Every structure is written in C-alpha cells, then in structure tokens.
C-alpha cells in the first residue's frame, strides 16, 4: 500500500482550520477527511457561530465532514466506502459527532482532549458513555495518537491504531498544544452566546403578530404549519398528532422509521415540524433538521439587522431552551439516537431553565425510561452535569394513543 501522510501532517491541517474557526468567532476546532491512501478529500472548520450569531448549532467540524461526504456521493462522485475513510479532528468529538461518525462508519483520529464534552473525556479510550455495541465499535475505530514530549500535552497513544497508510503515527507537542489552546480560547465565549436571549418571562407571543410581519412570514416559509396549533405550554396534546403523523409518513416514504420532531415555543405554539432526510444524508435525522431550521430562521432575521430588530427577533423567537422539542420516537440505543442526544446538548450549550424541566419530550418510547435515564447519566460531564439532559414522555395519553 502507498503511504502518503503522517498523523502529524493531518493534525497540522486540522489545527490551521481551527485557527480559522477562532478567527470567525466560533469554536476553535477543525478537521480533515482522508481517503484510504491518506489523500485529503476535504478540510473544514466549526461553523456554529457567524457574525456573532448562532448560525447552526450542529455545524461542528466532524458533522459537517460527514454531511459533505454524503452530499458528494449524492452528486454522483465516487468516494470510498465509510470504513475506508478517516476523519482527523483537532479536538475529541462531542456526543453528536461521535454518534454521527459511528452511524456512518468512519474511522477517527483525535488530537486535543475535551474533558467536558468529548466522548473520551476521561482519557481512557474506553467510552463508558456509549451503549455497549457502540463502545466496541469506537474502541476499534477511534484513535488517540501519542504526543511525544514531557509537558502536560504529552500523552501515550490510546484507542485503535490509526489506519496503516499513516507513515508517522504521533503528534508533535506544539501542534497538540495549538489544538488545545485554540479551542480553550473560544469555548467559554461561544457558550455565552447561547445564553444571551431574553428569559422565558420576557418573551412575546408570535401568534399576536400580524400575518404580514417579517417574523411570521419567515416562520411560515420555514414551516407552512407554523402557528396553526397551540397547546398548553410544556404540555403538548393530541392536537399535535396530525402534524407529527404527517412528518412521520414523509420520513417513512424515504425509508425511515417515522422519525419526526416538532418544536413548540414557550406559549405552546407550533413553530416547526420536521422529518428525517436520510436519502440526502445518512445523518440528517428529524432533530438535526429541526434544530438547524430554527437556528437558521433566527439567524436570517438577525444577520445584518439593526439592534432593535435583533431584540424583537429574540423576544418573539426565543432560544429553544424555553420551548419544547417533541420527538415522535424517543431515544433508543442506536448511534443516530446518540447523535440526537448530543445535538440536543449542542443546541442548549448551557443549563436548561428551571421553569422548563421537560424541554425534551417524546411520544413513543424507544427504550425503557430507566435505561434512558441511565444512558443520559453516563454522558460526558457537559451533558450530564450542566445541561442535565432528561428526556421524558409526553403527559397526554391521547397524543400517545394517536401515534401508537
Ligand atoms: N469536537 C468538536 C467540538 C466542538 N466543535 C467541533 O467542531 N468539534
């Protein structure tokens, strides 16, 4: 086999992407995708923040590389199968990206650790956060190369051996330090941007706006059904069933299992309802579509707008923290479901409001509640201790019956 690249060289490319990400004001993380010969197919960086606004909470480097891979294949480009492809990332993947990488079946090489959100947060390369079969898969495909040196950045190699095409299999200490420092320089500041929206008590009801208001028109463009259902806040009822059923049918028509998610605001208004798009990309679940659609709706209304307009948008379209995500199908033990839990965490990036403990609800359970809560209790510290992800079943029996 023709060997063409050192781990060090690939990490250096990821590190320079990470610097570009910091320059943009988003999480300082970058990544590259390599084929089975070590050829760089694509390099890119985190895009969660643009122009100081949340652009896409799912736009982590690794997740974008995977969607890029599926998009290229959909365009007809011949790319090797996922098991021959390696993602090299400047920072240990979060829960979302871990689920996405495992669902797609890529190999992964990580440089700097992330002790809060990284799947290898404890450094063991043992992955206790993952459901059992996924632990085995990660142990066989996730590599943490040795960093040679004597500073705090030095480490022994852990996890799987990097693919044989890599010539040198270690990371230089300054490059590893760069990956860590660039991320650490951005992390707190970016997380703060997820917590500057008005509190639930200061939000305004978009259903009171005239139909030709820019916010209402944007909502309707994102989802024609927006504002046509309103339930009791935090208590979705059977009135939501037809919307979820329609999205489930669309998901099934694409070969899915009926993956559908609705987002309700703090007043109980339906804002949008999405289905999976796995024919476009294997990782485009309904939740990924929902959280992206809502973030981009807010972004488009605020980007380049004056301060008064931005304030108005934030009042009528609050952070999803103060709303309710309603999943037709609850979390299960699959990699895509793990990705969704992580993406939920990446949407929140901070504690949920105490006034809204049931922000994450599902209609039909995907696993017994106790097992689900145990799974959430094993997630890396950010998800377990700060966000405290705790999905619960909707209270309304008629909604459950309607989807059963
Ligand atoms: N591992 C990562 C954490 C945060 N953002 C990213 O793009 N990647």
- The answer to whether residue 2 sits within a structural domain is no
Among 17, 33, 65, 89, residue to substitute to test ligand 1 (most atoms within 8 Å of Cβ)? 89
Label residue 31 by pLDDT band (50, 70, 90): very high
Task: Compute the radius of gyration of the chain from its Cα atoms.
Answer: 21
Q: Are 361 and 394 in contact (CB under 8 A)?
A: yes
Domain match, 220 and 130 both: no
Which residues face 195 on adjacent strands?
Answer: none
Q: Which of 168, 192, 216 is the last residue of a domain?
A: 192
- The answer to whether residue 90 sits within a structural domain is yes
- The answer to whether residue 146 sits within a structural domain is yes
Looking at residue 2, what is its pLDDT?
A: 67
**Cα–Cα distance for residue pair 333/125, rounded to 1 Å:** 20
Looking at residue 3, what is its pLDDT?
A: 66
State which ligand 1 atom lies nearest to the alpha carbon of 27. Answer: 5
Angle at 96 between CA 249 and CA 256, to 5 degrees: 20
Domain match, 44 and 93 both: yes
CA of 61 from ligand 1 middle (Å) equals 6
Domain match, 129 and 223 both: no
Which residues face 89 on adjacent strands?
Answer: 31, 110
Please tell me the total count of domains within the chain: 2
CA of 403 from ligand 1 middle (Å) equals 35
28 lines ligand 1 (CB under 6 A): no
27 lines ligand 1 (CB under 6 A): yes
**Cα–Cα distance for residue pair 334/45, rounded to 1 Å:** 26
Domain match, 305 and 259 both: yes
Nearest to 94 by CA among 125, 63, 53: 63
Q: Are 98 and 110 in contact (CB under 8 A)?
A: no
CA of 91 from ligand 1 middle (Å) equals 6
Domain match, 258 and 141 both: no
Overall average pLDDT of the 278-303 stretch: 96
Residue predicted with more confidence, 2 or 231: 231
Kindly tell me if the per-residue pLDDT of 251 is higher than 80.
yes
- The answer to whether residue 165 sits within a structural domain is yes
> Which burial class, exposed, middle or buried, applies to 77 when counting CB atoms under 10 A from its CB (0-12, 13-18, 19+)?
exposed
108-152 confidence digits (pLDDT tens): 999 999 999 999 999 999 999 999 999 999 999 999 999 999 999
- The answer to whether residue 198 sits within a structural domain is no
Q: Whose CA is nearest to atom 1 of ligand 1?
A: 93
- The answer to whether residue 197 sits within a structural domain is no
98 lines ligand 1 (CB under 6 A): no
* Average pLDDT of the residues of the chain: 97
Q: Whose CA is nearest to atom 4 of ligand 1?
A: 60
Q: Are 99 and 336 in contact (CB under 8 A)?
A: yes
**Cα–Cα distance for residue pair 79/77, rounded to 1 Å:** 6
93 lines ligand 1 (CB under 6 A): yes
> Which burial class, exposed, middle or buried, applies to 354 when counting CB atoms under 10 A from its CB (0-12, 13-18, 19+)?
exposed
Q: Helix 95-104 vs helix 61-74: angle between axes, to the nearest 10 degrees?
A: 30
Domain match, 162 and 209 both: no
Nearest to 350 by CA among 322, 311, 369, 331: 322
Looking at residue 279, what is its pLDDT?
A: 87
Overall average pLDDT of the 296-316 stretch: 98
Kindly tell me if the per-residue pLDDT of 95 is higher than 90.
yes
Domain match, 141 and 228 both: no
Kindly tell me if the per-residue pLDDT of 4 is higher than 90.
no
Nearest to 301 by CA among 220, 245, 232: 220
Q: Whose CA is nearest to atom 7 of ligand 1?
A: 60
Domain match, 171 and 210 both: no
61 lines ligand 1 (CB under 6 A): yes
Label residue 1 by pLDDT band (50, 70, 90): low
Q: Which residue has the tokens 């909604």?
A: 399
**Cα–Cα distance for residue pair 207/228, rounded to 1 Å:** 9
332-354 confidence digits (pLDDT tens): 999 999 999 999 999 999 999 99
94 lines ligand 1 (CB under 6 A): yes
**Cα–Cα distance for residue pair 250/19, rounded to 1 Å:** 40
| CATH classification at residue 125 | 3.40.140.10
337 lines ligand 1 (CB under 6 A): no
The complex scores an ipTM of: 0.96
Residue ranges of the alpha helices (H) in 185-267? 187-192, 214-222, 241-253
Q: How far apart are the first and last CA of the chain?
A: 53
CA of 263 from ligand 1 middle (Å) equals 25
Among 33, 56, 92, 94, residue to substitute to test ligand 1 (most atoms within 8 Å of Cβ)? 94
Overall average pLDDT of the 260-286 stretch: 96
Q: Are 330 and 365 in contact (CB under 8 A)?
A: yes
Tokens of 70: 């599926």
Domain match, 46 and 171 both: yes
State which ligand 1 atom lies nearest to the alpha carbon of 60. Answer: 7
Q: Which of 150, 166, 192 is the last residue of a domain?
A: 192
- The answer to whether residue 351 sits within a structural domain is yes
Domain match, 261 and 188 both: no
| CATH classification at residue 246 | 3.40.140
- Domain interval for residue 83: 7-192
- 3-class secondary structure, 303: coil
Q: Which of 158, 192, 226 is the last residue of a domain?
A: 192
Q: Which residue has the tokens 């485009």?
A: 284
Domain match, 151 and 256 both: no
CA of 114 from ligand 1 middle (Å) equals 9
CA of 64 from ligand 1 middle (Å) equals 10
Q: What DSSP designation does 227 have?
A: T
Here the contacts of 226-230 (C-beta below 8 Å, separation 24 or greater) are: 226/269, 226/270, 226/271, 226/272, 227/269, 227/270, 227/271, 228/270, 229/269, 229/270, 230/267, 230/268, 230/269, 230/270
Domain match, 118 and 255 both: no
Contacts with 393 (C-beta within 8 Å, 6 or more apart), sequence order: 330, 361, 362, 363, 365, 369, 400
């Amino acid at each position: 086999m023709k060997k063409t690249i050192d781990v060090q060289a690939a990490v250096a490319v990821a590190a320079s992407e990470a610097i570009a990400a910091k320059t943009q004001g988003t999480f300082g993380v970058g990544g590259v995708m390599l084929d089975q010969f070590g050829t760089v197919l694509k390099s890119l960086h985190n895009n969660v923040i643009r122009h100081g606004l949340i652009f896409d909470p799912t736009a982590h480097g690794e997740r974008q590389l995977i969607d890029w891979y599926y998009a290229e294949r959909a365009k007809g480009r011949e790319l090797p199968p996922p098991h021959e492809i390696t993602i090299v990332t400047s920072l240990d993947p979060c829960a979302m990206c871990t689920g996405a990488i495992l669902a797609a079946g890529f190999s992964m090489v990580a440089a700097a650790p992330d002790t809060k959100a990284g799947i290898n947060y404890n450094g063991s390369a043992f992955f206790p956060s993952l459901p059992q079969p996924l632990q085995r898969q990660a142990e066989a495909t996730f590599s943490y190369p040795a960093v040679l040196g004597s500073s705090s950045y030095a480490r022994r190699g852990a996890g799987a051996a990097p693919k044989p095409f890599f010539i040198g299999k270690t990371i230089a200490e300054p490059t590893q330090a760069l990956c860590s420092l660039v991320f650490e320089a951005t992390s707190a500041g970016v997380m703060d941007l997820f917590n500057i929206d008005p509190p639930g008590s200061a939000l305004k009801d978009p259903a009171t706006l005239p139909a030709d208001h820019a916010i209402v028109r944007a909502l309707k463009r994102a989802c024609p059904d927006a504002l046509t259902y309103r339930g009791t806040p935090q208590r979705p009822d059977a009135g939501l069933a037809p919307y979820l059923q329609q999205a489930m049918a669309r998901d099934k028509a694409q070969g899915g299992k009926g993956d559908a998610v609705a987002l309700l605001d703090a007043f109980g208004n339906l804002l949008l309802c999405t289905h999976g798009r796995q024919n476009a990309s294997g990782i485009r679940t309904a939740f990924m579509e929902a959280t992206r659609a809502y973030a981009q709706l807010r972004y488009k209304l605020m980007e380049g707008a004056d301060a008064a307009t931005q304030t108005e948008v934030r009042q009528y379209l609050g952070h999803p923290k103060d709303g309710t995500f309603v999943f037709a199908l609850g979390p299960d033990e699959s990699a895509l479901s793990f990705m969704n839990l992580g993406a939920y965490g990446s949407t929140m990036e901070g504690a949920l409001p105490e006034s809204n403990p049931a922000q994450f609800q599902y209609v039909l359970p995907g696993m017994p509640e106790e097992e689900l809560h145990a799974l959430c209790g094993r997630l890396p510290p950010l998800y377990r201790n700060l966000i405290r992800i705790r999905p619960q079943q909707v209270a309304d029996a008629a909604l459950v019956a309607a989807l059963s």
